[in-house]
Amino acid sequence: MNLPILVAGDSYSTDWPAQFSKLVPNPITNISSLGRSNLFIWSSAINYLAKVDTKHIVIVGNSFITRTDTWVENQKVQQNWDQEQHPERKNGNRSIPLQRYDKKYEEWFRTSDICTLWQEYYYDLFCFAHTLKSLGHDFFLFNAAVNVMGDPELDSDFRGYLFNTPYYNWCHSQHNILPGDTFSISEWCVKNNVKKLDSGHIADDEGCLVFSKWLHKQIVEAKLL
């Protein structure tokens, strides 16, 4: 039985699924959306899966840990974001990426605690993976955007704490999860001589096919296909 495949992510995952579909007989639904946070990506995936109520293979390309969404600013200007046909839009979610409002985003970023963002990322990734597992879905979760633990605030005290949490260690022990500080599409492109844009996105269909073949290999080795 060829289980349906759900792909969710930000702009790093909008293009390669078209090439991935050439490698598998499984029907693929891609709900990736430009500029989105991990909260939007993960929650929209759960909402979609709950609505269709069918076992899926779920492939998720995680976003930047420093990205967030806003409802408040959208309510002020009544702007819409991305495709109206996105399932999360149809569910009534009218949030938009906060970075659309540069000043507001910069203010939020200056006051955010990078340590807390990393802690939230690993805890939420742990919970998201366990939710997918409890709902009976197979999954492969990888970090698509660049997230590197290079900030000076991430000192030995914080790392000593985070690296000993059960959720951090569990995420790093799973063969079907490539966490935030271990992988990104941009770094993968450099290592595999695949052309990329300055933003780190794969540049063309040829590169997307090469990435899809690599991803297919990982999923087969994880015994999800």
Burial of 192 (C-beta count, 10 Å sphere; 0-12/13-18/19+) = exposed
Is the pLDDT reported for residue 45 higher than 90? yes
The larger pLDDT score, comparing residue 76 to residue 111, is at: 111
User: Whole-number mean pLDDT of the chain?
Assistant: 94
Per-residue pLDDT, averaged over 152-156, amounts to 93
SS3 215: helix
Q: Are 10 and 86 in contact (CB under 8 A)?
A: no
Q: Is the pTM of this model over 0.75?
A: yes
pLDDT of the residue at 81: 65
> Domain 5-221, what fold?
Rossmann fold (3.40.50)
Closest-CA residue to 59 (of 92, 87, 34, 26): 26
What single-letter amino acid sits at 41?
A: I
pLDDT of the residue at 135: 97
pLDDT band at 85 (very low <50, low <70, confident <90, very high): confident
- Report the distance separating Cα 85 and Cα 87, nearest Å: 6
**Alpha helices in the chain, H assignment, sequence order:** 16-20, 38-52, 72-77, 87-90, 102-111, 114-134, 156-162, 166-173, 185-191, 205-221
pLDDT of the residue at 73: 83
pLDDT of the residue at 80: 63
CA angle, 174 then 178 then 183, to 5°: 155
pLDDT of the residue at 84: 66
Neighbours of 157 (CB within 10 A): 9
In tens, the pLDDT along 165-217 reads: 999 999 999 999 999 889 999 999 999 999 999 999 999 999 999 999 999 99
The full set of domain ranges for the chain reads: 5-221
Per-residue pLDDT, averaged over 28-53, amounts to 96
pLDDT band at 89 (very low <50, low <70, confident <90, very high): confident
Q: Are 194 and 205 in contact (CB under 8 A)?
A: no
Q: Are 154 and 161 in contact (CB under 8 A)?
A: no
The larger pLDDT score, comparing residue 93 to residue 167, is at: 167
In tens, the pLDDT along 115-138 reads: 999 999 999 999 999 999 999 999
